[in-house]
Amino acid sequence: MWTHNPCMAKNLTISVDEELLARARTLAAKQGTSVNALLRGFLETLVGKQPGELVADELLMLMGTQGGRSGGRKIGRDELYEDRIG
């Protein structure tokens, strides 16, 4: 997920039909985001990103959506690799 940096952001004004805006707001609410964030994401997809940014975004998304199985327990290196070392 890209982090919005207000210091680097520029405002953009667009005109859309009221019904379209209402549907966009509904979609944004269902996704727990804003219309602004939806449009920003669309523009990023449209113009493309640097490969590293795409990988970082995917990893951040996975970290946020996939639960770990450690239960909060810290796993040491030896324990992590014990099945490979023998």
The dihedral sign for the CA sequence 67, 70, 75, 81? negative
Stated pTM of the model: 0.49
Give tens-digit pLDDT for 28-75. Answer: 999 999 999 999 988 888 887 666 777 788 888 888 787 777 777 888
CA angle 47, 41, 28 (to 5 degrees): 150
